[in-house]
Amino acid sequence: MTFGQQPGNGDPYYGGNQQQPAYGQQQYGQSQYSYAPNGTAAINAQTIYSREQVQAAQRASVTRAYGEMTLGLIITAVVAVVAQMTGAYVSFIESTGLIGFFGFAIVQVVLAVALGARIMKIKASTARVMFYVYAALMGFTLSSIFLVYSISDIGVALVLCAAFFFVLTMFSLTTKFDMLKAGPILMVGLVVLIISQIVLMFVPGSTTGMRIICAFGLILFAGMTLYDAQQTRALFSAYEAQGPEMIKKISIICALNLYLDFVNMFLYILQLFGSRD
């Protein structure tokens, strides 16, 4: 602080009776006073340049995560369409029954949990393969929506979800509001949503209740999208010093979180506005 405050402060050291102190302090003062503007400008320029480099690197990392998420969604869509056209999912359920249905769901959950738990211990390439396998399994499961909803309803829900997701992401990455503080509330809401859906499974014909749950789920995952978008940026900022391999791993786990937000919002929009065949 002394470096920026001494010139022109009326200090007695800038007088002339004590020659040696005056000489020493005056040289320091003159050097700072004469060259500080250029030096400060250079330091500021370097600071700004460094900050711009960091921000550019963070933007590139965030773009990577959203790119991975998009690729995962494409894999899901392709597998869903192929499974529907070939009748693979229907054949699988007919041959395995409820055991196959719940077993397949458990495999997906275990794979997602394993990816999140072991992301720091496995290679980035392994994490990427696990994510793509998970996306393919999700596509295989989601092929069942073609049996319930029309192509037009599915297409409209997909477009609405993509637009909604884009707006939420842009808002989250540009607003000063800290959504990370809402993490505990969102987790409580997620637990309530899961329990409510399980309860409704045993209450047949509760259309109104299902619509309420779907509306709540849509709002919840909209909040999760805001949270995960900001968390993606925060994670890259926290781990950027650990090198490219770590950035790739963070990209995958962030892509998985964003992917799940998108898929869940799509399903809730479809259930709210789609007409069952």
For 102-137, what is each residue's pLDDT tens digit? 888 899 989 999 998 888 888 999 999 999 999 999
In the numeric block, which tokens belong to residue 224? 């999760």
Q: Are 253 and 261 in contact (CB under 8 A)?
A: no
Of 252, 236, 272, nearest to 54 (Cα)?
236
User: Quick one: how far is CA 34 from the chain centroid?
Assistant: 49
Q: pTM for this structure? A: 0.78
Q: Are 232 and 179 in contact (CB under 8 A)?
A: no
In this structure, how many other beta carbons lie within 10 angstroms of the beta carbon of residue 273?
13
For 183-240, what is each residue's pLDDT tens digit? 899 999 999 999 988 888 777 766 788 889 999 999 999 999 999 999 998 888 888 8
DSSP annotation string for 3-40: HHH-TTS--GGGSSSSHHHHHHHHHHHHHHHHHHHHHH
Residue 20: CA atoms inside 13 Å, Cβ hemisphere, count?
0
Q: Rg (Cα) of the chain, in Å, rounded?
A: 28
**Domain chopping of the chain, boundaries:** 38-273
